[in-house]
Structure 1
Amino acid sequence: MNSQYTMEWNLDSLFSGGSSSKELHNYISELKKNMDVLLSAVNKFIIPEHSNDSKDLEDVIQLLEKATKQLSEFSSFVSCLSAQDVGDKEAKLLVGKRSQLSSLYATTISKFDQKLVQIEENVWEHLIEQQTLIAFKFVLNERRKLAKEKLPIEQEILLNDLSVDGYHAWGEMYDTIVGKMSVELTNGDESEHLSVGQAANRLSDPSRLKRKEAFTELEKEWKKNSELFAETINHLAGFRLQTYNHRGWAHVLKEPLDYNRMSDETLHAMWEAIANNKTPFVSYLKRKAELLGLEKLSWFDLEAPIATSTKTINFDEAARTIIEQFSRFSTNMAEFAQTAFDKGWIEAEDRAGKRPGGFCTSFPDSGETRIFMTYSGTASNVATLAHELGHGYHQHVMDELSVLNQDYAMNVAETASTLAEMVIADAAVRNATTQDEKISLLEEKIQRSVAFFMNIHSRFLFENKFYLERRNGIVSAERLSELMVEAQKEAYCNELESYDPTFWASKLHFHITDVPFYNFPYTFGYLFSLGIYANAVESDGNFEESYKELLRDTGIMTVEDLAKKHLNVDLGGLDFWEKGIELCIADVEEFLRLTENKIR
């Protein structure tokens, strides 16, 4: 039977020829020239002495927009190349080139920011209100404020230059090591070698023996390389801590909170609301263990389906379901998803040689998007596909704006994606034809709540404890595993039989150099999207446009102002968060009721 949609993405429409593309290398040359022109303009920038002296600033912004757009285009393409084939040597060289250009860009931006700092306050206040600049008011004010908190420009430039081989290189080393890893698992009477991403898919297999085998073999592989991963995570954290120390930043959460345009008060309110409401989710874990015939769940049982047999969903069916359900929520979302499937923007093939995980990346210069994942036909895969399409739609509605106003943070980025997941999950439960199917689909929804309230919480707790100990020196691989288990026990309320000591090594997010603490943004996005989704369900038909406006504002507002403007809620209090959690608890209560008579 012929498939309607391909599971391999088309990168040639961006730059033909892959990592050896002449077209790409010409683009890199043009990018480098434009970055040099931008740097020259920043160096020649004359500090305005009057509010009507805005021409230099306007010129720099125009050049900055062009360079930003091209660097993002190149960076996204390199991400796609290195993800689709971890053995692509040319792609590895391009990763190095990207780091160099990113460092040059960061240096140029640092110089520009320092020029902004030198403008007198009274001149700045009037200058930013000029008609040609007011659209960039939030972004420029933010850049100026953050620049005041950094080192003198010469030191920031040195920091950027050293980070290429001293900071980002550690993240690249992690990717290289993972790319060479493989796991041997049994398949009937034979054995097969799988990438870690393929093997991780086995953790949702209906067979406990297969789940345990996959977990055990993965753990062996992560443990075998744990000393190398300990080097990676320690040196990444060490670089950050030294940078914070020299800048005079006492709080390790300052950078991620600034990056997410989020207050410490909001973060603590969110975690407090979750910590106060974990009891129902512990009841769910107990019930799931009973349904699987276990006294307690182990880590490798968390994603296990409770049905004895699971339905395999082919890629075409997944595509049709997503498009249909998106259309009930937003015609624009559905149209975007249709375009992504039709034009081959999705890499989903289940094959060796791909990096693990999934992502969505956008190409601002060409106006396209690419989604990466490994699709094996599970309901979880469908949810991931919807999640990444949600990311793509978010960027799609931002395309109409200046690229400088498109820089939204991770927490609000995870809002559109988790909302898209929710649309699919709710539709699946609603359309279930039998009670068993409804229970199974409801349980998959609850799995996501547990992931955001417990798994992500354990990551947050781990990083807090790790950074505290890292201030006093290198933390050994053994101690990292101890900290990981301690965090998991606390987050899961000691409800599991066994945990995952090497999770600190296997989770890519701990080794990403973009920003530390890439954990709480997921939980924020999940709960924030619940509030938006509730509005959609209760709306009078005007929701689609208001949702687009909210997404467009994500690049020019703090999350607190965004929530106040579009939802009229206070994120610093517990009420908003608890209302979102109550919706998740309602799922648990229904699950417990439906499964009461099914305990083995």
Structure 2
Amino acid sequence: MARMPLYDAAETVTSKSFGDLPEWDLGDLYPAPDSPELARDVEALEQAAQGFASRYENRLADLDAAGMLACIEEYQQIDILAGRIMSYAGLRYYQNTTDAGRAKLLSDLQNRVTDATTPLVFFSLEFNRISDADYEAVFTAADGPARYRPVFDRMRAMRPHQLSDELEKFLHDNSVVGAAAWNRLFDETTAGLEFDVDGETLGLEATLNLLTDHDRARREAGAKALAGVFSRNVKLFARIHNTLAKEKAIEDKWRKMPSPQHGRHLSNHVEPEVVEALRNAVTAAYPRLSHRYYTLKARWLGLDKLQVWDRNAPLPTETPKTIGWDEARATVLDAYAGFSPKLAELAEPFFDKGWIDAGVKPGKAPGAFAHPTVTTVHPYVMLNYLGKPRDVMTLAHELGHGVHQRLAAGQGELLASTPLTLAETASVFGEMLTFRALLAKTTDPAQRKALLAGKVEDMTNTVVRQIAFYDFECKLHAARAEGELTPDDINALWMSVQAESLGPVFEFMPGYETFWTYVPHFVHSPFYVYAYAFGDGLVNALYAAYEDGLPEFQSKYFDMLAAGGAKHHKELLAPFGLDASDPAFWDKGLSMIEGLIDELEALEG
């Protein structure tokens, strides 16, 4: 993996035309990879974990309320130390995954942190053996750890699936050569892929970006280049998925998990029937949403059938537009400020303090994310900014995550982390604010149509596509339980959900069956993808409440974000008069997408 993907000269020049794209300043974590501060913290982590274990192992059940509070707060400080170290190593690595030095630092620190934290494995295991009566007494006492109860309620939900101390320690130690190693192989492979498009050599991100090009021939060339490279590498990706799915199945069997998805639902603090209601509502709406919209799009493009490279194509009347970084920043911050000046103030430092890494660079990880690091520092946002309108929406999305993470940090390390089902709330809301602000300023009918269509496509990608992804994962894990899957087996599962979700207007080129290979969520976070659809549906319902003028909406919204993981989704949504366990809740969100399609059809008239 020493060879770096190449970018053509035109790509480099274009990226410069966006203005000064910011890069991360990781100095708030550590000054340098060889800094004494980093070495000191690694040693401090090792000593703190050993000291914690010697003080508390085999003693948790005997602690009184004040003693348990002190124990939990000491554990939280160790968590911050480990999180700070791994955040620094991970962020440096994602800036250039093909750099051998960065990969080595990540691997070495991962090993050191894993070894250092092995003595802590006892904590959750022993905690879950505390009797219900003692647990209740300690966590309801005035001088006790009552505020941390949501964390430990979730931990105790794992009690039926807990293994022996010895086995749990083995799994902890083994993780660096298990899923983590396969994750890293996937990341390094995708970062190193090169695609020949009309004589230009591009990386994955730049090639995927071609699928939104105005030139249909260029889109087709990009799609075929992707298909060719994915097909040549499909055996490796099939091996990664086979191994990870089997590893998960083995662990799930030992833990007596009733389904492959159950662990994700537990960690998300969401009931399986709520996820099933979401999934069923979306799949039932395919004809009313994606099938209907893509039929409209085929007519706009003058085509009887759409090819996969037409799915995210701009409209024919849409003027190609490159948006500079300064304009993107102003657009998002103005939209945020229109909702509340406080929202814009929370987002501002990301631009000014080196909290965003925006440029497309050789070896840089594809996609975009917001990483919370630890609550004593601040989040960092990664983008691959290419000046497209969708990139502005991605900026709005990731800044929403960043703002959410900043607000939730007040809860402290253990309570700040938001379950995945609610983690997309602020990001999708930020996108919606930006979209509505842009739409309100747009009077030209062609531009308005392009904006509406773009939003429908984003929502379709967030809801329809992600539920199709979820169904693919469910099928993949079920099939893997019956035996090893060939690349053709996995390809067939992928195509079954694509045809169902996209509808009859699509034709699928040879090679599209391999497009499951590059989706990182299947590798890094099994069954994560439904959280996007959950978040979109939740935000659509929230936004409807905002538009209806719900009293004190802004303050309620900030309270919800600041709660982090301290409350269940029922508690968080109650002030807005919403309940995700009500099957009708999801239809509210889906009806908003239908309403936008109605508006597009009206523009046709």
* Fold similarity call, TM over 0.5: yes
Q: Give the aligned residue type for 2:182.
A: W
Q: Tell me by how many angstroms 1:146 deviates.
A: 1.2
Identify the match of residue 583 of structure 1 among 566, 570, 592. 592
- Contact 1:412 1:521 (8 Å CA) reproduced: yes
Measured in 2, the distance between the counterparts of 1:262 and 1:472 equals: 28
Partner of 1:63: 74
Q: Deviations over 1:58-102 (max 9, x none)?
A: 232122111111222222222221111122222212332343355
Partner of 1:235: 243
Secondary structure at the counterpart of residue 379 of structure 2: strand
Partner of 2:326: 316
Partner of 2:301: 292
Measured in 1, the distance between the counterparts of 2:536 and 2:492 equals: 28
Q: 1:397 to 1:479 in 2, by over 3 A?
A: same
Identify the match of residue 39 of structure 2 among 25, 34, 45. 25
Asked if 1:507 corresponds to 2:515, the answer is: no
Partner of 2:367: 357
Residues 481-496 of structure 1: pairs in structure 2 closer than 5 A: 481-496=491-506
Q: Give the aligned residue type for 1:11.
A: L
Partner of 1:478: 488
Partner of 2:268: 260
Asked if 1:545 corresponds to 2:555, the answer is: yes
Measured in 2, the distance between the counterparts of 1:440 and 1:517 equals: 32
Measured in 2, the distance between the counterparts of 1:101 and 1:7 equals: 31
Partner of 1:404: 414
Q: Deviations over 1:1-47 (max 9, x none)?
A: 99886432222343223x44444333333333333333333425342
Q: Deviations over 1:310-329 (max 9, x none)?
A: 21111110000111110011
Measured in 2, the distance between the counterparts of 1:365 and 1:14 equals: 12
Q: 1:529 to 1:22 in 2, by over 3 A?
A: same
User: Taking structure 1 as the reference length, what is the TM-score of the superposition?
Assistant: 0.93
Secondary structure at the counterpart of residue 374 of structure 1: coil
- Contact 2:154 2:267 (8 Å CA) reproduced: no
Partner of 2:9: none
User: Taking structure 2 as the reference length, what is the TM-score of the superposition?
Assistant: 0.92
Q: 1:125 to 1:14 in 2, by over 3 A?
A: closer
Q: Give the aligned residue type for 2:153.
A: N
Secondary structure at the counterpart of residue 370 of structure 2: strand
Q: Give the aligned residue type for 2:266.
A: D
Residues 416-565 of structure 1: pairs in structure 2 closer than 5 A: 416-498=426-508, 500-512=512-524, 515-539=525-549, 542-563=552-573, 565=574
Partner of 1:10: 25
Residues 105-254 of structure 1: pairs in structure 2 closer than 5 A: 107-131=118-142, 132-186=144-198, 191-254=199-262
- Contact 2:282 2:467 (8 Å CA) reproduced: no
Q: 1:3 to 1:449 in 2, by over 3 A?
A: closer
Q: 1:67 to 1:279 in 2, by over 3 A?
A: same
- Contact 1:453 1:523 (8 Å CA) reproduced: yes
Q: Tell me by how many angstroms 1:150 deviates.
A: 1.3
Q: 1:223 to 1:193 in 2, by over 3 A?
A: same
Secondary structure at the counterpart of residue 422 of structure 2: helix
Measured in 2, the distance between the counterparts of 1:76 and 1:262 equals: 27
Q: Tell me by how many angstroms 1:158 deviates.
A: 1.1
Partner of 2:97: 86
Asked if 1:571 corresponds to 2:571, the answer is: no
- Structure 2 unaligned segments of length 5 or more: list them: 1-15
Secondary structure at the counterpart of residue 368 of structure 1: coil
- Contact 1:554 1:562 (8 Å CA) reproduced: no
Q: Tell me by how many angstroms 1:174 deviates.
A: 0.8
Measured in 2, the distance between the counterparts of 1:98 and 1:524 equals: 35
Measured in 2, the distance between the counterparts of 1:258 and 1:106 equals: 23
Q: Tell me by how many angstroms 1:428 deviates.
A: 1.4
- Contact 2:369 2:381 (8 Å CA) reproduced: yes
- Structure 1 unaligned segments of length 5 or more: list them: none
Measured in 1, the distance between the counterparts of 2:259 and 2:126 equals: 27
Q: Give the aligned residue type for 1:93.
A: K
Q: Deviations over 1:393-424 (max 9, x none)?
A: 00110121121111212121111111111111
- Contact 1:48 1:119 (8 Å CA) reproduced: no
Secondary structure at the counterpart of residue 363 of structure 1: coil
Measured in 1, the distance between the counterparts of 2:218 and 2:36 equals: 45
Q: Deviations over 1:95-142 (max 9, x none)?
A: 323433554577455411222223222222111112331111121122
Q: 1:444 to 1:463 in 2, by over 3 A?
A: same
Q: Deviations over 1:225-257 (max 9, x none)?
A: 111111111111111100011111121111111
- Please say which of residues 497-506 and 153-162 is displaced more in the overlay: 497-506
Measured in 2, the distance between the counterparts of 1:540 and 1:399 equals: 27
Q: 1:364 to 1:467 in 2, by over 3 A?
A: same
Secondary structure at the counterpart of residue 87 of structure 1: coil
Q: Deviations over 1:334-386 (max 9, x none)?
A: 01221111112111112322111111112325422211111111110000011
Partner of 1:38: 52
Measured in 2, the distance between the counterparts of 1:320 and 1:305 equals: 23
Measured in 2, the distance between the counterparts of 1:2 and 1:145 equals: 52
Partner of 2:3: none
RMSD across aligned C-alpha pairs, in angstroms? 2.1
- Contact 2:211 2:219 (8 Å CA) reproduced: yes
- Contact 2:318 2:446 (8 Å CA) reproduced: no
Secondary structure at the counterpart of residue 440 of structure 1: helix
- Contact 1:69 1:403 (8 Å CA) reproduced: yes
- Contact 1:269 1:571 (8 Å CA) reproduced: no
Q: Deviations over 1:553-598 (max 9, x none)?
A: 34023323433x33333322221111111111110011112134xx
Secondary structure at the counterpart of residue 360 of structure 1: strand
Q: Give the aligned residue type for 1:10.
A: D
- Contact 1:198 1:351 (8 Å CA) reproduced: no
Q: 1:397 to 1:327 in 2, by over 3 A?
A: same
- Contact 1:5 1:344 (8 Å CA) reproduced: no
Measured in 2, the distance between the counterparts of 1:308 and 1:406 equals: 42
- Contact 1:198 1:352 (8 Å CA) reproduced: no
Q: Give the aligned residue type for 1:158.
A: F
Measured in 2, the distance between the counterparts of 1:221 and 1:527 equals: 35
Q: 1:98 to 1:586 in 2, by over 3 A?
A: farther
Q: 1:410 to 1:245 in 2, by over 3 A?
A: same
- Please say which of residues 129-138 and 554-563 is displaced more in the overlay: 554-563
Q: Give the aligned residue type for 1:111.
A: F
Q: 1:411 to 1:96 in 2, by over 3 A?
A: same
Q: Tell me by how many angstroms 1:517 deviates.
A: 0.7
Measured in 2, the distance between the counterparts of 1:173 and 1:2 equals: 34
Q: 1:255 to 1:98 in 2, by over 3 A?
A: farther
Q: Give the aligned residue type for 2:123.
A: F
Measured in 2, the distance between the counterparts of 1:61 and 1:389 equals: 31
Q: Give the aligned residue type for 1:168.
A: A
Secondary structure at the counterpart of residue 371 of structure 2: strand
